[in-house]
Copies of this chain bind each other. A is one copy, B any other.
Amino acid sequence: MKVVALAGGVGGAKMADGLARVLPAEDLTIIVNTGDDFNHFGLRICPDLDTVCYTLAGLANSLTGWGRSEETWNALDSIRRLGGPDWFQLGDKDLGTHLERTRRLSQGEPLSKIVRDFSHSWGIAPLVLPMSDQPVETWVETQEMGWLPFQEYFVAQQCQPRVKKFAFKGVEQSLPAPGVLDALEQADCLVICPSNPWVSIAPILNVPGIKESCEGICVRVAVSPIVGGKAIKGPAAKMYEELGIAPSVLAVAESYRGLIDGLVIDAVDNSCRDELEAMGIHVLVTKTVMQDYIDRMNLAKETLEFCQKLMLYKGRQ
């Protein structure tokens, strides 16, 4: 069974890692959001790609979910002493990634090739692909501060301003990275990881051709990033509220309406099951909060079994 996962940062990375632990490497492709990518100190920083890769490589900081384990912060301390901008957490090990990526990009290499080589160096078995080799910029329109580039909203403003709208600059002109459409065409299942639907999954789906190719996949499921009306991490619940939508698994299902056959929800949201099914969405109720490697593997296994059931069900129709 060939699986493609769409992933943003921390939650997506954990789910992708679970899938990587239970699937043969050749059966898994992970397509990662690059709408959060930005330039800082002249470096090209790709937060979601790095979080996914560090997690798959076992290099991630397991406490924060982002950044490197056993990280040091000497460069940032130097910058701070010189009065430079210190709002973005640049760890020393992490800086090595940004420096080498930026060096290779400046020589004209496409991001997807760099990610493939980095994955190889880090011992990552499944194929990890950026959604696009072209830069796409997620912007957030806020009540208080107007349009903000994503990292300014997310890190510098700590998601405080209320959101009104999202835009993905450059997405219309972007192309799926080499390998993305092939993977989607060959996939039996699409798994949308528990990432933010607005700013992690939407940018991927907006790259011309990706959503259409996803729609051609036999079985498509999402794992809800909303559990008990809250986001495990990040501003997804807050965004739903600010957009006038009660944050819930129903809202997640609505976000992906027409795209997904099934939704994986946490046991705390069991009461929403009937309503989801009334929307025509198949439901798997399980433990979706991933606190350790066992949780990641269990969630991946159950999600894949759910996909297999849906494949059989679709085959019978």
Residues of A with Cβ closer than 8 Å to B? Answer: 41-43, 71-72, 74-79, 81-85, 90-97, 99-100, 102-104, 106, 117-118, 121-122
Contact = CB atoms under 8 A, between A and B. Distances in A.
Given A41-B103, A42-B42, A103-B84, A92 B118 contact: no
B92 A75 contact: yes
Given A78-B96, A78-B97, A103 B72 contact: no
Given A82-B100, A84-B99, 6 more contacts: A75-B93, A78-B95, A79-B99, A81-B121, A82-B118, A85-B103
A99 B92 CA distance: 12
Contacts of A81: 96, 121-122
Contacts of A92: 72, 74-75, 78, 92, 95
Of listed A42, A95, A99, A122, residue having the most chain B CB within 10 A = A99
A207 to B, nearest CB: 26
A90 B121 CA distance: 20
Contacts of A74: 71-72, 74, 91-93, 95-96
Given A81-B121, A82-B117, A118-B82, A42 B93 contact: no
A122 to B, nearest CB: 8
A218 to B, nearest CB: 37
A71 B75 CA distance: 10
Nearest to A74: B92
Nearest to A104: B84
Nearest to A44: B42
B117 A96 contact: no
Contacts of A103: 41-42, 84-85
Nearest to A84: B100
A42 B106 contact: yes
5 contacts: A42-B106, A74-B92, A77-B96, A79-B96, A83-B117
B43 A82 contact: no
A13 to B, nearest CB: 18
Contacts of A75: 75, 92-93, 95-96, 99
A41 B102 CA distance: 7
Contacts of A93: 74-75, 77-78
Give me the 5 closest cross-chain CB pairs, A-B, nearest first: A78-B96, A74-B92, A84-B100, A92-B92, A75-B96
